[in-house]
Amino acid sequence: MNTTISAIGVDGGTTKTHLAAADATGQIICFNESGSTNAYASDDITENLVTLFEPIKNATIDLAVFTLAGWDFEKDQQKMRRQVEKALSACNISIKRAIYENDIFAVYYSGIGESHSGVAVASGSGVVGVAVNGKEKFRTTGFGYIAGEWGAGWELADYAIHLVCSSLLEREDYYPILIEKAFQYFNAATYEELVEAIIHKYSITYRGFFLREVYDAYLQHCPGAREVFEKANCELAKTIAALIKRLPQKNVPVILGGSVFKSIGVLPGLKERVKEMTRTNPEFRVIKSDPVWGALHWAARESGLAATAIKEKILVEIYPSPGA
């Protein structure tokens, strides 16, 4: 591709990375996928980036927006940027202007529309949030419970597994629905088989997807599943409230992304908990589309491009304010 591309968006995550490109009219001209570009998950992400950039080899890019998981500490940013630039060079791609940020901004720009203030929180392999007020930005850590946050998908699922095992050991009330879900999901028939499967057979990612089964148990009125979501609501509401406090205007949209919200939606009771903690009544927006379209939307806003075709790719579920 020996041409000039007006804007590209790249959203890099732990499991996959997406690229989308637009021409001067705002029309989408390219979409591609490759593997992980999270610096914490992979020592060298160059090969995956070269695969990602293959469809736009030899191009000149006016503006590129990179929203990357792991774009946190300066030393990690420097390493990731070097590897991005190495991959661009290998593909003979020239970029006139580049913006780099954490992947939470892809969620934010997926849901913010045309306004300039809001809060975004993603829950997937981790929890990270951002509050934006014009050009002012405040980000929560995204580094897990010991750094101040809790509520990633695998943490919620692991808490449910803990309740199952504690129930089987008679340390908790007996949760038959949740126990049955765990036995089926992990292909176990006894406590010992369940623990062995969790420790030796299944990855943290696989354990994380057990959360969907926990939600099904919640819909069947399982008290153990309800306890999981009560704990999740408490922790995630703290993150959302901390971000809302950073903004002078309080009734801003709360945009939710990541695998947890994408698969479940707004967790039951979360809106009410946020309202109680912040004395605000925000609208919640759950991003159901790939975050790369948010990254490309950001690039279009920065470039003044028409974004109609890009916005059509962004799928948002609206959850009105409690009592609205």
pLDDT in the model for residue 2 = 55
Q: Are residues 47 and 156 in the same domain?
A: no
Q: Are residues 122 and 58 in the same domain?
A: no
* Paired tokens of 191: 């406590």
* 37 within some domain: yes
Instruction: Summarize the confidence of residues 27-47 as an average pLDDT.
Output: 86
Q: Residue 287 — very low, low, confident or very high, per pLDDT cuts 50/70/90? A: very high
Instruction: Summarize the confidence of residues 227-238 as an average pLDDT.
Output: 95
Give the count of beta carbons closer than 10 Å to the beta carbon of residue 271.
Answer: 23
Whether residue 197 is predicted with pLDDT greater than 60 in this model: the reply is yes
Q: Are residues 44 and 118 in the same domain?
A: no
Instruction: Summarize the confidence of residues 48-77 as an average pLDDT.
Output: 95
Instruction: Summarize the confidence of residues 60-83 as an average pLDDT.
Output: 94
Instruction: Summarize the confidence of residues 56-78 as an average pLDDT.
Output: 94
Whether residue 39 is predicted with pLDDT greater than 80 in this model: the reply is no
Distances (CA, A) of 58 to 29, 92, 99, 180, 297: 15, 5, 20, 55, 23
pLDDT in the model for residue 321 = 62
Q: Are residues 54 and 202 in the same domain?
A: no
* 223 within some domain: yes
State in Å, rounded, how far the first CA of the chain is from the last one. Answer: 50
Domain that holds residue 14: 4-103+291-315
Instruction: Summarize the confidence of residues 85-107 as an average pLDDT.
Output: 97
pLDDT in the model for residue 116 = 82
> What's the pLDDT tens digit per position in 202-226?
998 899 999 999 999 999 999 999 9
CA dihedral 147, 148, 153, 154 (to 10 degrees): 50
Contact criterion met (CB below 8 Å) for 250 and 240? no
Q: Which CATH number is 62's domain given? A: 3.30.420.40
User: How large is the C-alpha radius of gyration of the chain?
Assistant: 21
> What's the pLDDT tens digit per position in 3-19?
889 999 999 988 899 99
pLDDT in the model for residue 322 = 52
Q: Are residues 154 and 296 in the same domain?
A: no
Averaged pLDDT of the chain: 93
Contact criterion met (CB below 8 Å) for 296 and 11? no
Q: Are residues 37 and 164 in the same domain?
A: no
* Paired tokens of 227: 């306890």
Whether residue 1 is predicted with pLDDT greater than 60 in this model: the reply is no
Model confidence, pTM:
0.92
**Better pLDDT: 301 or 42:** 301
Whether residue 324 is predicted with pLDDT greater than 50 in this model: the reply is no
Q: Are residues 298 and 277 in the same domain?
A: no
* 108 within some domain: no
pLDDT in the model for residue 3 = 81
Highest mean pLDDT among 144-153, 172-181, 314-323: 172-181
* Paired tokens of 73: 């500490």
Whether residue 159 is predicted with pLDDT greater than 90 in this model: the reply is yes
Distances (CA, A) of 81 to 63, 77, 142, 220, 298: 15, 6, 20, 47, 19
Amino acid, res. 29? I
Total count of domains within the chain: 2
* 150 within some domain: yes
Q: Are residues 71 and 133 in the same domain?
A: no
**Better pLDDT: 25 or 144:** 25
